[in-house]
Amino acid sequence: MTAAVAADLTAGTWAIDPVHSSIGFSVRHLVVSKVRGTFGNFSGAITVAEDGTPSVTAEIAVDSVNTGNEQRDAHLKAADFFDVENHPTATFVSTGVRQDGSDYVLDGDFTLKGVTKPIQLKLEYNGVNPGMGHGQVAGFEASVVINRKDFGIDIDMPLETGGAVVGDKITITLEIEALKQA
């Protein structure tokens, strides 16, 4: 974000508030529908330099995955998918941000299952609110589509009729509220 556009996002550190934020995903299932899930344990910060340039860091505890089905969640935590025993966290570190119309693109390095790849998050900045007695809050929405195979999640479960049980493309969505630190 540029200083002129996001002047109300003042310099300093803005901590991601996990109580008022969410990280979700969806993936094609059996070719015809989608399975959705969330991660319940994550943290991060947005650091805004004096010139208005932001940098973002985030960490997700991948063992906090929840799709509403314990058996599926256990399989996602296993070596076939996230391999949480060897790779307990996914991380994001921004490398830049640029304007895209009235929104932004947040470039960064995403690490999942020990593999780091550059990604581009479509980012919507929702502004700043004075908060409710605990300081200013800023709101963001972001999304990205990744290919799970790019990150070493290459299990194939083909269907007899064509296609696969689990699709390759994963849509990750973030609803972030960040609290200005004193």
Ordered by start, the domain boundaries in the chain are 12-180
pTM for the model: 0.90
**Residue 155 confidence class, pLDDT cut points 50, 70, 90:** confident
pLDDT, one tens digit per residue, over 27-65 is: 876 656 788 999 999 999 999 998 888 899 999 999 999
- The token duo for 120 is 């581009």
pLDDT of residue 5: 43
Question: Which residue(s) pair with 129 in the sheet?
Answer: 137
The CATH classification number of 12-180 equals: 2.40.128.110
DSSP assignment of 20-74 equals G-EEEEEEEETTTEEEEEEE--EEEEEEE-TTS-EEEEEEEEGGGEE-S-HHHHH
Burial class, 155, CB count within 10 angstroms (exposed 0-12 / middle 13-18 / buried 19+):
middle
pLDDT, one tens digit per residue, over 116-148 is: 999 999 999 998 988 788 889 999 999 999 998
Whether the pLDDT of residue 159 is over 60: the answer is no
pLDDT of residue 79: 92
Residues contacting 32, CB < 8 A, separation 6+: none
